[in-house]
Structure 1
Amino acid sequence: MFDGDDAVLVVGAHPDDEVLGAGGAIAKHAAAGDDAHALIVTEGTTHQYDDRDLIEQKREHARTCADRLGAERVHFGDLPDMRLDDVAHVEVNAVIEGVCEEVSPDAVYTHARREVNRDHVAVHDSTLVATRPGSGVSTVLAYETPSSTNWTPGGDGFAPSLFVDITGHVETKIEAFQAYESETRAYPHPRSAEALESIARSRGTDCGAAAAEAFEVLRMYR
């Protein structure tokens, strides 16, 4: 990882999940010369607003975010927002499998499984199908999503086993997240600039770095 020879894919259920969970890693991959991609599985607004103009606006925000991180491209799955638990599992699988076939990633990042948001859980499960043994993906990692992973009743259930030093990429992550104008919140909400920096600093103390992102290793073949 981070050697400039890999393709990586970050899978998120909604616009902004990709940067909240792995924005620092995306920026670090891009800076190292890796071919970084993001996949947004749902439309991001359908259920809440039913507004096609807002859907396109969020796509533009996603593209701006990707540009700020240095990612190569954002892919869109167009599945219904906040309703993935009503979508056939094979349909969600197919969206992720299709982008994996196109990108041929060495590493894939996805949601952790224990999440408040049910779309996140569906994306996690389908990512494991799309990256099953024989898929060509060598590493599958799960990220935490502020305001979902940490809001799970009874504890977040997130047990990171890999920490990525993002000391030089925290400001890039925050600037990229701020491309999502409709998703940013005031501190102390987890989706605020101050909270994202605080989370990065806290994860850094877990591994002896000034700032870090934390991941669960789901699969790793070497």
Structure 2
Amino acid sequence: MTRTVAPRTVLCVGAHPDDEVLGAGGTLAAHAAQGDEVHVLIVTEGSTAQYDDPSYVERKREEARVCADRLGVETVHFGDLPDMRLDDVPHVEVNAVVEECVASVEPSVVYTHSRQEVNRDHHAVYDSTLVATRPDSGVERVLAYETPSSTDWVGGGTDGFHPTVYVDVTDHLDTKIAGFAAYESETRAFPHPRSEESLRARATMRGAAAGVSAAEAFRLVTERRGAP
């Protein structure tokens, strides 16, 4: 029996510009290629804590838009909360940014940060995503992605990122790399995790674990099903 899957609405939540493509860029491109409506939410302005230049906020936004266009993302939403300071922002304010986007977009699938990593902005976004995707939200599936240069730097005293879901991105890896290349302010030279070579190596490694040429890895957070 052949089952036809209706197009879905997908939302990827990231704390900073480039988190979305680093963690789920190939998967978002795959969603777009199969006709799903894909949105990205960037919760912070992604600049002020790192660069003493207000113009970087708009630069990061433009890079995010170019990346989204390359991945096939329909809309990038911006939250404008302070970069690298979400642990100082009241939890309800972070919740509000994610809740407002979920209510507007009405996704059935949401991708967000893992809590098994070192970046506290990412922790806050993960926690707020759980609030925004509670049972009455209409969201059916929530998955946590890994973030190169953050998830993989967790120390031995902390539970690390252990994927439970792998998505074959063999046909979309080049699109992910092209999307990340839009973030000229964030790319680094190999062997830094935010380099083309490292991203390809990670995709190959995750693919080997899943029996495909290239994959992205996720941890299933929530799944609500009707029929089995």
8 Å Cα contact 1:160-1:215 kept in structure 2: yes
TM-score by length of 2: 0.95
Structure 1 residue 4: Cα displacement:
5.2
Whole-angstrom CA distance in 1 between matches of 2:11 and 2:144: 12
In the TM superposition, residue 144 of structure 1 has moved relative to its aligned partner by: 0.1
Q: Deviations over 1:47-68 (max 9, x none)?
A: 2224221100110000000000
Write the deviation string for residues 111-130 of structure 1: whole angstroms up to 9, x where unpaired. Answer: 00011111000000100000
Q: How does 1:21-40 map to 2 (within 5 A)?
A: 21-40=23-42
- The number of aligned residues is 221
Misfit runs of 4+, over 6 Å: none
TM-score, normalised relative to structure 1? 0.97
Map of 1:138 onto structure 2: 140
Residues 3 and 147 of structure 1: CA distance in aligned 2, closer, same or farther (over 3 Å): farther
For the pair 1:52 / 2:54, whether they are aligned, the reply is yes
- Matches of 1:206 and 1:156, distance apart in 2: 20
One-letter identity of the residue aligned with 2:171: G
Letter in 2 for 1:29: H
User: Would you say 1:181 and 2:184 are equivalent positions?
Assistant: yes
Deviations 1:99-122 (A, max 9, x none): 001100000000000111110000
SS in 1 for 2:183: coil
Tell me the secondary structure at the aligned position of residue 187 of structure 1: coil
The CA deviation string for residues 129-183 of structure 1, in whole angstroms up to 9 with x for no partner, is: 0001111000000000000000011166111111000000001000100100010
Identity of aligned pairs, percent?
66
- CA root-mean-square deviation: 1.2
Question: In 2, distance between residues paired with 1:44 and 1:50?
Answer: 12
Equivalent of 2:17 in 9, 15, 18 = 15
Match status 1:168 vs 2:171: yes
How far apart, in 1, do the equivalents of 2:15 and 2:114 lie?
11
CA distance in 2, matches of 1:114, 1:3: 32
1:82 alignment partner AA: M
Letter in 1 for 2:160: G
Check conservation: 1:46, 1:81, Cα contact below 8 A.
Answer: yes
